[in-house]
Amino acid sequence: MNFIRKYWRIFLLGGILSLAAIYMIGKQINLQELGRALSQAQYGYVVPSAILVLLGLAARAVRWRVLLNHVLPLWRSFNIINVTYLINGLVPFRLGELARAFLASRAKPPVPMFTSFSTIIVERLLDTLAVLVILGLALTAAPIPPELQTAAAAFAPLVIIGFAILIIMALNPKRSANLAARIVPAAITDRWNIVEWLRQFLDGLKPLTHIGTLLPILFWTTVAWALSIASGYVLMIAFFGQGNWAATCLFTAAASFAVAVPAVPGNVGPYEASIVLSLQAMNPGGSYETMVAFAIAVHALNLGMSTVLGVFGFIQEGISLEQLSEGIRGMRQQESAAG
């Protein structure tokens, strides 16, 4: 409850955006046709699509393990990733990443919190670059909506610059730490161990400085996104009778941008709207109601997979949601006291 009171404005904004997206979709829809589209879908394709989603999550777990220099066993990396995605789907601000850092800190040997955070930042940059590439692939087949062009144009230079800065910092960890010690006011460094935090952060960036680890990271990023696209393509067959690679690339990229928008838990509304708008832009065939039914199915499949695997991850980690919340608070207090 304290969390909701503190961030009620964000929750209110998310609710408004979700309602607006749902209204935008619903005002044009024929409910009878929507029901027909849902009932006539070939749900046998859901199984291979779900398997591809599962493999995509496994690829992301492998990538994170490589970023951590193989400190975590693959099975544990997979479980922690799934817990992260489950929590990210329930609360705003991607708080699942705090859970990921805490769960990794329970490993033996423990992964320092800021080392985990640095790997998460690298993941976000790599995923954003991947989304921009996917948008480019979609653009080769048909013009993309102006809204996505604007988003891509804004993100591309920022991501490239940010990625370059991280690599430069990782290549010069001592200079980066010394620079931070000179720039950050003494009052802050006396209270918090900023330099040590930065060293832990840069430890997580070390894989980017070695071609032997950078290539596997790029490889598993490619595999993860290829599997995500393949999952969407297979599910398209269930509703449209055939897949469309360009449309799949576009709605995959659009949905990735949509999850960054504040919304109600599960991102209901903006997620579906992003898929429907992408399909309308590409016009793969089928009625408007079929597009909406497909968007609902894509979201339901991904939410269902993240819920089942996330709950399984909690069980495997032997921790409850309450214990996880307490652990995160304790971890943050310990890091603050370290200064």
- Residues contacting residue 299 through CB under 8 Å, at least 6 positions apart: 266, 267, 268, 271, 272, 275
Residue-level pLDDT at 6: 57
102 close to 333: Cβ distance less than 8 angstroms: no
- What are the tokens at 59? 């690829």
Give per-residue pLDDT as tens, 201-223.
777 677 777 788 889 999 999 99
Residue at 8 is within a domain:
no
Residue-level pLDDT at 202: 75
Looking up tokens 């779900």, which residue turns up?
50
Residue at 300 is within a domain:
yes
Residue at 310 is within a domain:
yes
For residue 89, the tally of other CB atoms under 10 A from its CB is 17
Residue at 2 is within a domain:
no
Q: How many domains does one find in the chain?
A: 1
Long-range contacts of 269-273 (CB under 8 A, 24+ apart): 269/17, 269/18, 269/19, 269/20, 269/21, 269/22, 269/25, 270/17, 270/18, 270/21, 271/295, 271/299, 272/21, 272/22, 272/25, 272/296, 272/299, 273/21, 273/24, 273/25
Residue 250 lies in domain: 34-337
Residue at 125 is within a domain:
yes
Give per-residue pLDDT as tens, 298-338.
999 999 999 999 999 999 999 888 888 888 777 766 655 55
Residue at 222 is within a domain:
yes
Residue at 38 is within a domain:
yes
Residue at 25 is within a domain:
no
The predicted model scores a pTM of 0.82
